[in-house]
Chains A and B, each alone.
Chain A
Amino acid sequence: MNEFNPSPEPNLSPECTENARRIQRFLDGESNWDTPQLLQHRLTCQQCRTLLRTAKVLQAGLQNFPPPRPSPDFTNKVLARVEQESPRFVNTRSSSRRYSRYSWGAFAAVGMALSLFLGWFTFNLVLTTQVKRSPIPPTQLAKLSLPQEANTPQPKPLGEKARETRGLFLNVAKNRLERTQRQADLLAAMTPKKEGEEDANPDTLAEAKNGMNRAIEPFTGTARRALEFFNPRPSAPPK
């Protein structure tokens, strides 16, 4: 360092140290008034007087400091580069690409939910039709029901049960879809090319890792790449 180091140094008097400290506060832009002791000290201390004058020179110079400006077409250059390196951000039709990259699991979940829904719907429809076409009139049908003494709980009407089950499956599918989408989003954010962790928040990274292990099967190249990223093989070269 040098003689103007604001941090206390053994060779600086307490007044010189205080002067340096106040000059830092002055440059911080804080209201800063001399104490009588400090004024008195500077009358006899050339070093502190010079330091103060230099601080004022610096402050004046900073007011004229021209802010650096990027080139006029900077924004266009950035967007062109984003399009080149991360096209899904610029291309409005990119959503299909994004889904094809990240959401096979989500599509599978939706497909499963739809099949189940259709299955239950058909089943329900067939049974309702059978009841309607039943040759036995409703009065006879009532006689065919289980005897009172069996006292078993009445089964819920099939329509309601089917609805309930359908809802349950849809719920599961929806949760899974959301979770998968969230993990895919995190993955997209967490696995940028090769450097990876550099800009990542450790908590988000841990969350992504954890969530991925639970929620995403290695359906896609991205997911496989991500798994390798989080669980590198021993043979992988060190970073």
Chain B
Amino acid sequence: MSEDAILVRRILQGDSSAMRELVSRFQREVYGLCVRYVGSPHDAEDISQEVFVRVFRSLKSWDANRPLRPWISRIAVNRCRTWLANRPKRPEPVDFLHETPARLIEDDSRELVDEIQKALDLLRPDYRGVFTMFHEQGCSYDEIAEVFDRPVGTIKTWLHRARTEILSYLQNRGMVPKDESAESNTLQTE
């Protein structure tokens, strides 16, 4: 029996410490996804709470043979989509980076991070969600496809478009260094 399955069983048996454990285990992912998706930390916190309420309410329908994380992320994506569809008007995106202590980020990197954040805010919510899951949460294409209930090919297309739009934005914002060395123009990873 998986660790997740044991945790869920404890919750269904009424163990409230297990509920706390589940929230602790997944809160960063759920909140991280929601905040990128809806663009507002305040709303994301509210939506994330609602996600967990729904998770507990639906826990009995979770298939213990499948991983818990994508199942929870899927509920989060659904809640975010519903929230976006029902909200009266798109709020001004709040730059949550300003809530992050500046000393955590070097000054020169901070500008770049800030610009990437702004580029993300301009993307379609689904693109933002996919981008976040892949680049921030380290999810695989398969996992993301499961969460979004779309074929892997669609997820790849979304992610590639998201990146392309961000790359384009960064160029327009002058974030790209001048064409200096030949070394920076080779495509190599370890």
A residues contacting B by CB (< 8 A) are 1-7, 20, 22-24, 26-27, 29-34, 38-39, 42, 46, 49-58, 60-62, 64-71, 74-75, 77-79, 81-82, 85-86, 89-90, 92, 94-95, 185-186, 188-190, 192, 195, 198-201, 204
Are A186 and B185 also in contact (CB < 8 A) when A7-B160, A62-B135, A70-B28 are? no
List the A side residues contacting B105 at CB < 8 Å: 64, 66
Question: Does residue B65 face the partner (Cβ distance < 8 Å to A)?
Answer: no
Contact check: which of B100, B161, B175, B177 meets A66 at CB < 8 Å? B100
Q: What are 28 A-B pairs with beta-carbon distances under 8 A?
A: A1-B164, A2-B168, A6-B164, A7-B157, A23-B187, A24-B160, A29-B189, A34-B186, A39-B186, A42-B185, A53-B184, A53-B185, A54-B170, A57-B112, A57-B177, A61-B109, A64-B109, A71-B45, A74-B31, A77-B49, A79-B23, A89-B11, A90-B16, A92-B14, A186-B61, A189-B58, A192-B57, A199-B78
Contact between B60 and A188 (Cβ–Cβ < 8 Å)? yes
Q: Nearest-CB distance from A218 to chain B (Å)?
A: 21
Question: Does residue B19 face the partner (Cβ distance < 8 Å to A)?
Answer: yes
Are A78 and B23 also in contact (CB < 8 A) when A68-B31, A192-B58 are? yes
- Complex-state Cα separation, A49 to B32, whole angstroms: 33
Question: Does residue B136 face the partner (Cβ distance < 8 Å to A)?
Answer: yes
Contact between B116 and A58 (Cβ–Cβ < 8 Å)? yes
Contact between A58 and B163 (Cβ–Cβ < 8 Å)? yes
Question: Does residue B69 face the partner (Cβ distance < 8 Å to A)?
Answer: no
Q: Nearest-CB distance from B52 to chain A (Å)?
A: 5
Contact between B112 and A60 (Cβ–Cβ < 8 Å)? yes
List the A side residues contacting B175 at CB < 8 Å: 54, 57
List the B side residues contacting A92 at CB < 8 Å: 14, 16
Q: Nearest-CB distance from A75 to chain B (Å)?
A: 5
Question: Does residue B92 face the partner (Cβ distance < 8 Å to A)?
Answer: no
Specify which of A24, A70, A74, A77 lies most central, judged by the most chain B CB atoms within 10 Å of its CB: A70
Contact between B61 and A190 (Cβ–Cβ < 8 Å)? yes
Contact between B61 and A32 (Cβ–Cβ < 8 Å)? no
Are A51 and B167 also in contact (CB < 8 A) when A57-B112, A188-B60, A204-B61 are? yes
